[in-house]
């Protein structure tokens, strides 16, 4: 009883601690974000990464950082949390429209960084970076959808859609090329980049339909399916984690806050805790959180060395980091907390926590008696897990509090030796990451649904792809073209149940079929007139379906 009471007392003190930190830091973080827009020589709407001009010089504008920051402000505006932000938002859109047109060393909107006076930065850099256009499109579409829902059709159609098209056409055409990751160091395929590109194209397909562009909607959908398939390849069951960068051999283990950031920035409040998009509450994202957080435990950072397993630690980018000797970053520590608050939201919505063998290590570090089972929300076991996860998440904020100076100002990093701030002062993204974590903690959901709900196996066993068969054939009156072939979807070579093509674009006959992905099969066209079947000449046609997406096959009768 004594123990229980003192435990309760301690828990209360911690809760109060975090609440007081949030009430102090929240307004400072908001002011910190706003102070870095259109300042220090920057044009209106231009976000500077930090006012720091030496060691390091961050007085530039990055498409990624600016878009993440404005997504937060747009969310606050469109949810009527802060109705004063309209001018900043339209200034941002105007500024980004100018930057889209600035000729630059990448030769595309994949250019990561510009001078604050809206001219090109021409020095050497890790370019291109393909997350920026996706994040910018997401931010702008969030604003456009709000305007449309409040009856403002023209600005979304005439100003936002032309810009979104440029960004999404770029993503659609280039996602399958390597580029630099969000830390601007690795030229490969980065989880964060692929995840935010997938999201942007999904919501982009819906937005394109709304703008009456069905051709782009179809293209974005096809590429989104391909991206979702590719995204699965970042999961490594042998590492018990998402690997941050693939298609590159950089000598790193692959554990990186990149993946936690990817999960929180693709959170979809309408989706469940789904593993297919690595939603924050999914078993894979939780095991990834466990493994990634563990990589920062022990002696890597002196300020973590006294912290026991199962308790929050200070988080950096990745353990092999040597930038400023490798330290914890505020935005990474905040992200570790935010993923867990968002996970709690998803479990509350789902009315259960489904502990699987994948997520078990995450839960047993907090509640050792956890087993693989479903914990419905009306059971004590569920409440125990929720409060353990909530306290664990709060632990990350307590560390941020411990290493926030009394001024409340947040730099980029704090020293691994003693927590003193280092690198760029007043980092805009540090402030934004504090705010998104604070909002997630009190259940104020800022994110919008983007289409993650209900997505299923995009590739691998059981996946299907849509193939359109086009057969050019002139026919006699009363004669029709059919297809049959070696697989179930093509009727196992049956002529009596062969599938009829449509002749709406005669002499091109067409049919679109769902067939198993990555499968080689044979087929032929037949013509049938008055029950008489005529086969195409040999050999049988052969086709291998793609791993994902859609495909069009063009044939001519022979």
Ligand X SMILES: *[C@@H]1O[C@H](CO)[C@@H](O)[C@H](O)[C@H]1NC(C)=O
Query: Nearest approach, Cβ of 444 to ligand X (angstroms)?
Result: 5
Q: Select from 200, 198, 221 the least CA-distant residue to 209.
A: 221
Query: Nearest approach, Cβ of 20 to ligand X (angstroms)?
Result: 12
The answer on whether 125 is annotated among ligand-binding residues is: yes
Looking at the Cβ atoms of 90 and 503, the one nearer to ligand X is 90
Pairing outcome for strands 508-516 and 502-505: antiparallel
Packing angle, helices 86-100 and 63-78, rounded to 10: 150
Taking CB under 6 A as the rule, does residue 373 contact ligand X?
no
Taking CB under 6 A as the rule, does residue 253 contact ligand X?
no
Taking CB under 6 A as the rule, does residue 324 contact ligand X?
no
Residues 6+ apart with CB under 8 A from 437: 334, 335, 337, 338, 341, 397
Q: Is the dihedral of CA 489, 495, 501, 506 positive or negative?
A: positive
Q: CB under 6 A: which stretch of 217-225, 257-265, 361-369, 413-421 binds ligand X?
A: 413-421
User: Footprint of ligand X on residues 434-463 (CB under 6 A)?
Assistant: 435, 438-439, 442, 444
In 106-221, at which residue ranges do the beta strands (DSSP E only) sit? 113-114, 179-180, 187-190
Q: CB under 6 A: which stretch of 147-155, 208-216, 237-245, 316-324 binds ligand X?
A: 147-155
Taking CB under 6 A as the rule, does residue 539 contact ligand X?
yes
- Taking the C-alpha atoms of 26, 29, 30 and 34 in order, what is their torsion angle to the nearest 10 degrees? 170
Query: Nearest approach, Cβ of 352 to ligand X (angstroms)?
Result: 6
The C-alpha atoms of residue 318 and residue 527 are separated, in whole angstroms, by 62
The verdict on whether 553 is a catalytic residue reads no
The verdict on whether 184 is a catalytic residue reads yes
The C-alpha atoms of residue 299 and residue 315 are separated, in whole angstroms, by 13
User: Footprint of ligand X on residues 25-44 (CB under 6 A)?
Assistant: 26
Taking CB under 6 A as the rule, does residue 22 contact ligand X?
yes
Q: Select from 260, 230, 228 the least CA-distant residue to 244.
A: 260
Among 106, 232, 239, 247, binds ligand X (CB under 6 A): 247
Looking at the Cβ atoms of 55 and 538, the one nearer to ligand X is 538
The C-alpha atoms of residue 558 and residue 196 are separated, in whole angstroms, by 46
Taking CB under 6 A as the rule, does residue 417 contact ligand X?
yes
Query: Nearest approach, Cβ of 130 to ligand X (angstroms)?
Result: 10
Looking at the Cβ atoms of 23 and 214, the one nearer to ligand X is 23
Taking CB under 6 A as the rule, does residue 189 contact ligand X?
yes
The C-alpha atoms of residue 339 and residue 362 are separated, in whole angstroms, by 13
Taking CB under 6 A as the rule, does residue 534 contact ligand X?
no
Query: Nearest approach, Cβ of 370 to ligand X (angstroms)?
Result: 14
The C-alpha atoms of residue 434 and residue 26 are separated, in whole angstroms, by 7
Taking CB under 6 A as the rule, does residue 551 contact ligand X?
no
Among 433, 491, 545, 550, binds ligand X (CB under 6 A): 491
Q: CB under 6 A: which stretch of 64-72, 252-260, 392-400, 491-499 binds ligand X?
A: 491-499
Decide: 202 and 222 in contact? Cβ < 8 Å: no
DSSP codes, 36-92: TBS-TTPPTTPBPS-S--SSS---SEEHHHHHHHHHHHHHHHHTTS-TT-HHHHHHH
Among 117, 402, 488, 553, binds ligand X (CB under 6 A): 488
Looking at the Cβ atoms of 63 and 189, the one nearer to ligand X is 189
Taking CB under 6 A as the rule, does residue 474 contact ligand X?
no
Q: CB under 6 A: which stretch of 44-52, 199-207, 209-217, 489-497 binds ligand X?
A: 489-497
Residue with tokens 């409060």: 387
Query: What is the total residue count of the chain?
Result: 558
197 φ/ψ angles, rounded to the nearest 5 degrees: -70, -45
Residues 6+ apart with CB under 8 A from 6: none
Q: Which position among 17, 118, 169, 184 bears the catalytic label?
A: 184
Looking at the Cβ atoms of 233 and 508, the one nearer to ligand X is 233
Q: Select from 244, 437, 412, 432 the least CA-distant residue to 335.
A: 437
51-90 footprint of ligand X as x/- string (CB under 6 A): -----------------------------------x---x
Which residues are documented as binding site for substrate? 125
Residues in binding site: 125
* Active site positions, annotated: 181, 184
Write out the residues near ligand X by the rule CB under 6 A: 22, 26, 86, 90, 147, 152, 154-155, 176-178, 189, 229-230, 247, 354, 356, 374, 415, 417-418, 420, 435, 438-439, 442, 444, 486, 488, 491-493, 522, 538-540
């Amino acid at each position: 009883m004594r123990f229980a009471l003192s435990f309760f007392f301690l828990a209360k003190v911690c809760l109060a601690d975090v609440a007081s930190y949030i009430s102090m830091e929240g307004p400072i973080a908001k002011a910190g974000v706003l102070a870095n827009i259109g300042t220090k020589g920057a044009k209106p709407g231009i976000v500077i990464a930090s006012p720091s001009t030496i060691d390091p010089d961050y007085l530039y504008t990055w498409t990624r950082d600016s878009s993440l920051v404005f997504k937060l402000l747009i969310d606050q505006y469109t949810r009527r949390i802060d109705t004063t932000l309209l001018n900043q938002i339209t200034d941002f859109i105007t500024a980004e429209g100018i930057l889209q047109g600035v000729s630059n060393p990448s030769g595309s909107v994949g250019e990561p960084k510009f001078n604050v006076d809206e001219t090109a930065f021409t020095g050497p850099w890790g370019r291109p970076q393909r997350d920026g256009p996706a994040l910018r499109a997401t931010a702008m579409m969030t604003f456009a959808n709000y305007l449309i829902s409040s009856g403002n059709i023209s600005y979304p159609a005439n100003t936002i859609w032309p810009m979104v098209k440029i960004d999404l056409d770029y993503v659609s055409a280039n996602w399958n090329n390597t580029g630099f990751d969000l830390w601007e160091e690795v030229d490969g395929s980065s989880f964060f980049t692929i995840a935010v590109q997938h999201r942007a194209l999904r919501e982009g397909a819906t937005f394109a339909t709304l703008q009456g562009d069905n051709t782009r909607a179809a293209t974005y959908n096809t590429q989104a399916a391909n991206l979702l398939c590719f995204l699965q390849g970042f999961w490594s069951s042998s590492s018990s984690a998402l690997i941050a960068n693939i298609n590159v051999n950089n000598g790193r283990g692959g554990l990186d806050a990149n993946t936690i950031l990817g999960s929180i920035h693709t959170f979809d409040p309408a989706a469940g805790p789904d593993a297919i998009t690595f939603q924050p509450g999914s078993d894979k994202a939780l095991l990834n959180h466990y493994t990634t957080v563990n990589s920062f435990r022990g002696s890597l950072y002196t300020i973590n060395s006294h912290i026991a397993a199962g308790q929050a630690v200070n988080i950096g980018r990745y353990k092999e980091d040597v930038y400023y000797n490798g330290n914890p970053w505020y935005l990474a520590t905040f992200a570790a907390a935010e993923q867990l608050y968002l996970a709690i939201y998803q479990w509350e919505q789902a009315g259960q926590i489904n502990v699987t063998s994948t997520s078990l290590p995450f839960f047993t570090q907090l509640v050792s008696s956890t087993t693989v089972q479903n914990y419905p929300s009306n059971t004590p076991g569920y409440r125990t897990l929720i409060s353990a996860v909530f306290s664990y998440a709060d632990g990350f904020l307590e560390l941020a509090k411990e290493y926030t100076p009394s001024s409340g100002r947040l730099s980029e990093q704090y020293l691994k030796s003693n927590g003193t701030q280092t690198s760029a002062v007043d980092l805009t993204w540090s402030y934004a990451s504090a705010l998104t974590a604070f909002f997630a903690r009190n259940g104020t959901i800022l994110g919008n649904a983007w289409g993650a709900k209900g997505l299923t196996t995009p590739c691998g066993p059981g996946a299907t792809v849509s193939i359109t068969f086009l057969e050019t054939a002139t026919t006699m009156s009363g004669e029709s073209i059919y297809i049959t072939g070696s697989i179930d979807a093509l009727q196992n070579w049956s002529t009596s149940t062969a599938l009829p093509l449509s002749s709406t674009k005669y002499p091109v006959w067409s049919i679109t079929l769902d067939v198993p992905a990555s499968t080689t099969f044979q087929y032929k066209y037949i013509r049938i007139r008055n029950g008489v079947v005529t086969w195409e000449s040999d050999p049988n046609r052969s086709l291998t379906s793609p791993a994902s997406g859609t495909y069009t096959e063009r044939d001519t009768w022979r």
